[in-house]
């Protein structure tokens, strides 16, 4: 079963850059059948899509975050990453990475990582 | 701001049937993009309940079912149980945003 695991710092200072990585358990990261995404959830709020990437490197971003978010992928390391610049308290959230089937087969999610933006 | 609208809460007694609606538009559900449903227990990651509008992953009880019509989708829970108390989210793709969209979320309470 495909598994994903987020990693990165749990505390980031305001105005700095948030950097997270997602390790994927198998070669599905190179497959045309999947795309990979970051989703976040502020405390007590709903789910918000941050952006997605395909194994080719093609990306899509939430328009509200496009100017600050960058998603990259390293298929040789079975990993994709999120960088978000100039963070503020509004970026405090649990960040999930997930793999989405392009053939209607559902999705697989990591357990999530809590990131707090505070000085 | 979520593109897909859900009722904030629904409730029912054990054994009853409840439904959760997910209302979208012609750029997402109405454009025939798949709808997926997630259950989120407190402190846990979302779990796939229904994928591609009507399919259940193995291990999900058949008390959960999904449907889609026009620009809306629904999740039904029959034989409601205490363990079904959770937040539920729908999700689809939006062609105007060129990305994933999530519902506003619905809290299910078992009375």
Give A60-86 pLDDT, tens digit per residue.
Answer: 999 999 999 999 999 999 999 999 999
If 0-12 CB within 10 Å is exposed, 13-18 middle and 19+ buried, where does residue B69 land?
exposed
How far apart are the C-alpha atoms of A83 and B44, rounded to whole Å?
24
Sign of CA dihedral B43, B64, B100, B105: negative
Q: Do A47 and B89 touch (CB under 8 A)?
A: yes
Question: What average pLDDT does range A14-22 have in this prediction?
Answer: 98
B97 interfacial to chain A (CB closer than 8 Å): yes
Residue B80: count other Cβ atoms within 10 Å of its Cβ: 22
Residue predicted with more confidence, A91 or A104: A91
Which of A60, A106, A111 minimises the CB distance to B98? A60
Q: Which residues pair with A7 in a beta bridge?
A: A21
How far apart are the C-alpha atoms of B1 and A46, rounded to whole Å?
10
Which of B45, B97, B105 minimises the CB distance to A111? B45
How far separated are the first and last CA of chain A, in Å rounded?
39
Contact A85, A68 (CB under 8 A): yes
Q: Tell me the C-alpha to C-alpha distance, in Å, between residue B12 and each of B26, B73, B76, B110.
A: 31, 20, 12, 5
Is A13 a residue whose pLDDT tops 70? Answer: yes
pLDDT tier for residue A104 given thresholds of 50, 70 and 90: confident
Q: Which residues of A touch B100 (CB under 8 A)?
A: 37, 39, 49, 52, 100
Contact B30, B39 (CB under 8 A): no
Mean pLDDT (10-residue bins), chain B, 111 residues: 91 97 97 96 95 93 96 97 97 95 97 95
Q: Which residues of B touch A37 (CB under 8 A)?
A: 100
DSSP B5: B
DSSP B55: B
Phi first, then psi: give them for residue B73, nearest 5 degrees: -135, 160
Q: Do B51 and A60 touch (CB under 8 A)?
A: no
B78 interfacial to chain A (CB closer than 8 Å): no
DSSP string, A99-118: EEETTS--EEE---EEEEE-
Residue A35 tokens, joined: 């795309």
How far separated are the first and last CA of chain B, in Å rounded?
30
The CA distance from A45 to the nearest CA of chain B, in Å, is 9
Which of A62, A96, A106 minimises the CB distance to B45? A96
How far apart are the C-alpha atoms of A39 and A53, rounded to whole Å?
12
pLDDT on residue A102? 86
Q: Do B102 and A52 touch (CB under 8 A)?
A: no
């Amino acid at each position: 079963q495909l598994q994903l695991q987020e990693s990165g710092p749990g505390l980031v200072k305001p105005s700095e850059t948030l950097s997270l990585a997602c390790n994927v358990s198998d070669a599905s990261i190179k497959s045309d059948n999947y795309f990979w995404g970051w989703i976040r959830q502020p405390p007590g709020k709903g789910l918000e899509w941050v952006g997605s990437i395909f194994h080719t490197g093609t990306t899509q971003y939430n328009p509200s975050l496009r100017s600050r978010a960058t998603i990259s992928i390293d298929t040789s390391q079975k990993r994709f990453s999120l960088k978000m610049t100039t963070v503020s308290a509004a970026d405090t959230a649990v960040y999930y990475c997930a793999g989405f089937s392009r053939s209607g087969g559902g999705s697989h999610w990591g357990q999530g990582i809590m990131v707090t933006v505070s000085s | 701001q979520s593109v897909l609208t859900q009722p904030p809460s629904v409730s029912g007694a054990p054994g009853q049937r409840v439904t959760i609606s997910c209302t979208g538009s012609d750029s997402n559900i109405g454009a025939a993009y798949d709808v997926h449903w997630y259950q989120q227990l407190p402190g846990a990651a979302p779990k796939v309940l229904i994928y591609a509008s009507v399919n259940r992953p193995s291990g999900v009880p058949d008390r959960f079912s999904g449907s889609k019509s026009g620009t809306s989708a629904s999740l039904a829970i029959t034989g409601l149980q205490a363990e079904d108390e959770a937040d539920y989210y729908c999700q689809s793709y939006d062609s105007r945003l060129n990305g994933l969209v999530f519902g506003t979320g619905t809290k299910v309470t078992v009375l």
